[in-house]
């Protein structure tokens, strides 16, 4: 027997195939379905009940036990509260990155260990270095589905205790394995968006928790163009929902959010997309996963690598200069709408070196 493993079962095709692969490899597999959100109107928007039914059906077919755990309190305290604090501060947070760091690879992993399991596994599209080698987080074989960007904030000490069974497969291959195994979820639609918001309008949901303070909308020259409903409801690069129609003396071109000033409660907009470009950014709360980044020598001076500032973005050549828990990242070519509150992930070929939280950016025309 290869050992015992508990698989995070979401009710989707990826975790189903992950469990199927591990059982075929001789592991003693147990599934665990996590409930991470509770709300009075959850039945109107959340698919948790249907997802649990799908996870249970797959577990029955595999002949494995399916446990359930409620981590809603931990999710609220460690993910959702941070999400709200970021919006109040004018940032645009990424709760999926926080969920991986705080829940799936911390609370869930600790829970599984307390139950006596040797390791945990998930349906993430990522790979790891072979057993017995120093841990390295590697990109999935499917470039369209690679999820290392969402894992870059998780400490290596936690990732190295996790298995990623589908990292060597493409999404079509995963669906085909599920179909062959007879799983009804083989053609289930991938989940999208933020899990606790579901299908409802984002602004309506956010307004329940974050008070919007109206203020001026100005262009780069300071000309007053209109009023916004609250800076929390806008993000850099945004085009829709700004509320500016045709303005006399201005070109018939779309407006974009170019900046937010919390001090003056001002939203800055532009019709020139070059104003959205970034040549450098500062990242904080750095997390290094690669053993090659372990030690002061690796973090001294400038270093060439690639980076991405959003999921599914191709890696961009850059230079990073690390100073303690902060790094300056200078890109070879301008990047569009690098957004404070989001994350930057660093790569060396297929290896994800780690990443950090974007806290400041600079424009090429400064």
Side-chain-side CA neighbours of residue 330 (13 Å): 8
Burial track 204-239 (b if 16+ CB lie within 10 A, e otherwise): ebbeeebeeeebbbbbeeeeebeebbbbbbbbbebe
Residue 352 annotated among the catalytic residues of the structure? no
- DSSP class of residue 101? I
Whether residue 151 contacts residue 36, with contact meaning beta carbons closer than 8 Å, is answered with no
Which residue in the list 46, 99, 162, 318 is annotated as catalytic?
99
Residue 318 annotated among the catalytic residues of the structure? no
Helix, strand, or coil here: 255? coil
Which residue in the list 162, 195, 305, 318 is annotated as catalytic?
195
**Phi, psi torsion values for 164, nearest 5 degrees:** -125, 80
Which residues, in sequence order, are bridge partners of residue 7? 31, 121
- CA–CA separation, 28 vs 261, rounded Å? 54
Give whole-number Cα distances, 147 to 83, 97, 115, 130, 222, in Å: 20, 10, 27, 19, 41
Catalytic residues: 99, 195
């Amino acid at each position: 027997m290869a050992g015992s493993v508990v698989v995070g079962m979401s009710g989707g095709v990826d975790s189903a195939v992950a469990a199927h692969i591990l059982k075929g490899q001789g592991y003693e597999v147990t599934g665990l379905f996590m409930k991470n959100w509770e709300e009075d109107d959850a039945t109107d928007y959340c698919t948790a009940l249907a997802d649990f039914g799908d996870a249970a059906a797959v577990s029955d077919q595999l002949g494995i036990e399916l446990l359930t755990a409620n981590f809603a309190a931990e999710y609220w305290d460690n993910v959702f509260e941070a999400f709200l604090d970021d919006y109040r501060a004018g940032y645009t947070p990424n709760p999926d990155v926080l969920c991986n760091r705080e829940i799936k690879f911390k609370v869930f992993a600790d829970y599984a260990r307390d139950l006596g399991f040797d390791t945990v596994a998930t349906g993430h599209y990522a790979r790891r270095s072979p057993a017995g080698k120093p841990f390295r987080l590697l990109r999935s074989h499917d470039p369209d589905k690679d999820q290392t960007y969402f894992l870059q904030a998780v400490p290596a000490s936690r990732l190295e205790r996790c298995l990623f069974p589908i990292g060597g497969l493409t999404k079509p291959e995963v669906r085909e394995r599920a179909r062959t195994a007879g799983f009804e979820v083989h053609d289930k639609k991938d989940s999208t968006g933020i899990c606790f918001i579901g299908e409802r309008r984002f602004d309506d949901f956010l307004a329940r928790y974050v008070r919007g303070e109206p203020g001026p909308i100005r262009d780069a020259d300071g000309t007053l163009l209109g009023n916004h409903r609250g800076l929390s409801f806008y993000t850099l690069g945004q085009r829709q929902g700004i509320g500016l129609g045709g303005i006399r003396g201005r070109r018939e071109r779309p407006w974009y959010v170019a900046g937010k000033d919390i001090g003056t409660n001002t939203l800055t907009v532009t019709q020139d997309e070059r104003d959205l470009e970034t040549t450098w950014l500062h990242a904080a709360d750095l997390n290094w996963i690669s053993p090659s980044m372990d030690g002061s020598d690796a973090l001294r001076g400038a270093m060439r690598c690639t980076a991405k500032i959003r999921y599914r973005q191709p890696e961009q050549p850059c230079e990073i200069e690390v100073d303690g828990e902060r790094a300056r990242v200078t890109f070879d070519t301008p990047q569009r709408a690098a957004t404070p509150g989001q994350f930057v992930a660093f790569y060396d070929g297929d290896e994800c070196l780690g990443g950090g939280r974007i806290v400041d950016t600079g424009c090429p025309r400064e």
